[in-house]
């Protein structure tokens, strides 16, 4: 009796594994656009993307919340971007603990050049899905993100 059959798990059907693989592949496919061309990596791209979305300076803390990336990672990414001349640091006037960040003209130029390339790449990858499937994907991501409380990024 007993000796129940062992429950098995197919890694290829296991969602966290699949998501990790897909995310890694997706990122790698896009990274070629900014890695070599502009000398920036993923965390740096995230800072660039966050700052590029607005026309007014944002604090580092804001970037941390928006990108859900660890503050040490953001801090170092900002350091690199400043060294590259893409981002300028300035003290905040109202709260001198904060570091206000904004894109330099050079940084804006890179942003303006990079965004269409990345959107085109994303589009190319998602082109294996129909319009309806893409809407589904968007919807599913929304729901999963909400269940993880990943959505807060107030303006």
Partner DNA sequence: CCTTGACTGTTGCAGTCGCAACTGTATAAC
Partner DNA sequence: GTTATACAGTTGCGACTGCAACAGTCAAGG
Contact residues toward DNA (CB under 7 A) are 41-43, 59-61, 64, 69-76, 78-79, 89, 95-99
Q: How far is the CB of 131 from a copy of itself (least distance, A)?
A: 13
95 binds, among a copy of itself, DNA, none (CB under 5 to 8 A by kind): DNA
The interface region with a copy of itself, picked from 33-41, 76-84, 94-102, 145-153 by CB under 8 A, is 145-153
Q: How far is the CB of 70 from DNA (least distance, A)?
A: 4
Q: Does 35 bind a copy of itself (CB under 8 A)?
A: no
The C-alpha atoms of residue 49 and residue 75 are separated, in whole angstroms, by 15
88 binds, among a copy of itself, DNA, none (CB under 5 to 8 A by kind): none
State which residue, 29 or 91, has the beta carbon closest to a copy of itself: 29
């Amino acid at each position: 009796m007993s000796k129940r059959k062992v429950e098995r798990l197919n890694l290829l059907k296991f969602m966290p594994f699949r998501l990790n693989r897909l995310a890694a592949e997706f990122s790698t496919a896009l990274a070629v656009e900014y890695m070599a061309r502009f000398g920036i990596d993923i965390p740096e791209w995230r800072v660039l993307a966050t700052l590029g979305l607005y026309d007014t300076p944002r604090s580092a803390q804001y970037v941390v919340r928006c990108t859900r990336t660890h503050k040490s990672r953001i801090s170092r990414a900002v350091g690199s971007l400043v060294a590259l001349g893409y981002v300028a640091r300035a003290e905040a006037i109202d709260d001198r603990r904060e570091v206000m960040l904004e894109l330099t003209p050079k940084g804006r130029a890179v942003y303006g050049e990079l965004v269409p390339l990345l959107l085109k790449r994303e589009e190319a990858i998602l082109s294996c899905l129909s319009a309806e499937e893409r809407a589904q994907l968007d919807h599913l991501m929304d729901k999963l993100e909400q269940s993880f409380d990943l959505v807060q990024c107030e303006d």
